[in-house]
Structure 1
């Protein structure tokens, strides 16, 4: 080998050292941090329907192997059902059926996953290197306006209650309803019973979750709560102005309360361009599907062609991992690094950012934070420390 060739190889070797050290640094920071995801819909999308995520699952965003690769420590499992019940027994029965399915998964895999009910349970599970499962009930409609059912869900392990989903309850108005039907609502915000629900959640050690709620409900709930709140899966309105994201004054209110906002990964909540294109397509949907159905007279084929067309039109507008971290950056710059976390909404969303394709990709967030100059202390807060602080103050 001639001298020039040796010199070239040496230059290549030494130039790669900073990159290798950086990658090792990111891995070390990520492994040492406690990673908590505030929201995942895999119960509803998979477990409740008989899929076993303890084994590799080809579709969807979540399974045990990918969680391990992503370095997850604690997962809030969302218990969700539509405004119309799936069970003839009602919405509360749906919630219990989903908790049953999570319990069964845990019983089959005791060496891998454990249900936590207390702050100490969480720390114990992390020390045992297990996935720590927490239950979040996504929608106050599942208590069926009965405070005793709220208490029963707490006994089953519920550790946050999202006061509304997109649908309002008789005692709390949702973001969707306040946005689309604000002028026709009988009331906005919490009723006296709604404030009683918030007080009962505080008493029971259940986090008040303000994702999905309308602005009036949001402020009413913060005023009624004596403990820090969580916004389990929302992003920043000033970056992506959609009804589900939080505005600057809401971010400041959460910070004043000592709570935490967990950033949602859905492309339509991360990127303004993606959200605008999606809205444009939805206005065109009926025209498109009517045309396809007239030609095929096949409803399944019509849906298939619409979903293919929609994906093709939006794919190039998918945001990136960097765009997600912009939302984290925004909150940190507005109120500091104590009030933001991760709430992916994996397996509950139809489009994810490039670089965050599934639960194995969490380390990419750490890498981006390192790239932007975040300290190890700040990264530990963002990945899970802030949510853990709120849990400790409430459970």
Structure 2
């Protein structure tokens, strides 16, 4: 017979055990509920996994109209609270240089100013952001609860014909360079420019590819002409990236996107295509809308205000936005064509204006994409590859190739 005190202790233990069992069952039920709910699981994964987005145009956005993105900001597609809500750990901030600087000069100065702006952002909020200079920085910053700011330069114009400028920008933190932009420059022909001066890369552009390999900079083939792409693939000793491109299969005739043969060549090289979210990159109807609008604007009377004209045009011709599923179609296509190891995300947030898809309007909405991947049957290992693993693999291979060349 137990003493009253022991009876009390035993009852307490039994009750505690029941409570523990009850809590365990409740926990199991909650876990099961999450497993059955892609949206809930996506929210969890967004916070647990590294998310690397290789193209966000914050630097130039702030150059045009400054606001403090370390707190909630009224404009644009990115700020700290929205990035945290969406699980974004490592945006590559695009040091974008307009093509006009190729002729006017000043690209080198502007690039440095845009880099200064990102360093200043980290300086204002060192508890929220940290500059990322190597692939391993991302996991360290994630562990510390900080968002990594990596830098990519969109348009090689600031190199200004001097290989020493590549060294300078590497030292300043640039880890990829998009060789050209909307017009051909002194490095490469552009997919948007009908004048194909170089039939691919210039002689200096070939030296740029070699030097980027040596330094450990990823080569970005978004925006380049098809001939330039194949020349890069022929010359490079390291994998390359398309930092913000989608698939020509869905938007026929749009050379800015990649066709199937290019994607296969990219995969053989070990590179990765980072899917652009912009509606005109993702669905043909939106791409055609843009062409039709520009034709209508060109036919309008001289002096027509573009903003007013566009507002009226939209009333008669609503914009055919892409959506989460149409973006996922591009990821599916790459996966079926060459495998899941060669695709990632390069949203072009703050770079494609108001053409972003329904459900992917800003950096808080990555969970919508993740939920879609879950619904389409992607396992969590493959989701992690798409969100960051594939890009990190390429970045580490580029670092390793540079170390090998520098050691030799």
For normalisation by structure 2, the TM-score amounts to 0.86
Q: Tell me how far 1:212 sits from its aligned partner.
A: 0.3
**Residues 111 and 158 of structure 2 are in contact (CA less than 8 Å); yes or no, is this contact kept in structure 1?**
yes
Listed as ranges, the gaps of 5+ residues in structure 2 are: 1-29, 400-408
Distance 1:47 1:125 in 2: 26
Deviates more, 1:128-137 or 1:44-53: 44-53
Listed as ranges, the gaps of 5+ residues in structure 1 are: 1-13, 294-298
**Residues 35 and 41 of structure 2 are in contact (CA less than 8 Å); yes or no, is this contact kept in structure 1?**
no
Equivalent residue in structure 2 for 1:198, among 209, 212, 223:
209
Q: Tell me how far 1:387 sits from its aligned partner.
A: 0.6
Q: Deviations over 1:189-221 (max 9, x none)?
A: 113321111010011110000000000110101
Q: Is residue 280 from structure 1 mapped to residue 292 from structure 2 by the alignment?
A: yes
Q: Deviations over 1:115-171 (max 9, x none)?
A: 011122222112112110111010011111111111101110000011111111233
Q: Is residue 92 from structure 1 mapped to residue 95 from structure 2 by the alignment?
A: no
Q: Is residue 219 from structure 1 mapped to residue 230 from structure 2 by the alignment?
A: yes
The equivalent residue for 1:296 is none
The equivalent residue for 2:4 is none
The equivalent residue for 1:379 is 383
Distance 2:33 2:317 in 1: 39
Query: SS of the residue aligned with 2:244?
Result: coil
Q: Tell me how far 1:260 sits from its aligned partner.
A: 0.5
Query: SS of the residue aligned with 2:177?
Result: strand
The structure that has the greater radius of gyration is 2
**Residues 297 and 306 of structure 2 are in contact (CA less than 8 Å); yes or no, is this contact kept in structure 1?**
no
The equivalent residue for 1:149 is 165
**Residues 39 and 367 of structure 2 are in contact (CA less than 8 Å); yes or no, is this contact kept in structure 1?**
no
C-alpha RMSD of matched pairs (Å):
2.2
Q: Tell me how far 1:393 sits from its aligned partner.
A: 1.1
**Residues 41 and 346 of structure 1 are in contact (CA less than 8 Å); yes or no, is this contact kept in structure 2?**
yes
Q: Tell me how far 1:236 sits from its aligned partner.
A: 0.4
**Residues 47 and 53 of structure 1 are in contact (CA less than 8 Å); yes or no, is this contact kept in structure 2?**
no
Q: Pairwise mapping of residues 72-87 of structure 1 onto structure 2 (< 5 A)?
A: 72-85=88-101
The equivalent residue for 2:395 is 391
The equivalent residue for 1:9 is none
Query: SS of the residue aligned with 1:338?
Result: helix
The equivalent residue for 2:12 is none
Distance 2:165 2:187 in 1: 15
Q: Pairwise mapping of residues 151-300 of structure 1 onto structure 2 (< 5 A)?
A: 151-177=167-193, 180-181=194-195, 185-241=196-252, 242-290=254-302, 293=303
Q: Is residue 52 from structure 1 mapped to residue 52 from structure 2 by the alignment?
A: no
Q: Tell me how far 1:356 sits from its aligned partner.
A: 0.6
Q: Deviations over 1:29-51 (max 9, x none)?
A: 33222100010001101256422
Change in CA separation of 1:95 and 1:310 when aligned onto 2, cut-off 3 Å = farther
**Residues 289 and 306 of structure 1 are in contact (CA less than 8 Å); yes or no, is this contact kept in structure 2?**
no
Change in CA separation of 1:390 and 1:84 when aligned onto 2, cut-off 3 Å = same
The equivalent residue for 1:119 is 135
Q: Pairwise mapping of residues 291-330 of structure 1 onto structure 2 (< 5 A)?
A: 293=303, 302-312=305-315, 315-330=318-333
The equivalent residue for 1:30 is 46
**Residues 102 and 157 of structure 2 are in contact (CA less than 8 Å); yes or no, is this contact kept in structure 1?**
no
Distance 1:48 1:154 in 2: 25
Q: Deviations over 1:88-109 (max 9, x none)?
A: 8711001001101111111111
For normalisation by structure 1, the TM-score amounts to 0.88
Query: SS of the residue aligned with 1:175?
Result: coil
Change in CA separation of 1:18 and 1:55 when aligned onto 2, cut-off 3 Å = closer
Deviates more, 1:321-330 or 1:18-27: 18-27
Distance 2:120 2:157 in 1: 24
Distance 1:22 1:98 in 2: 39
- Report the number of matched residues: 368
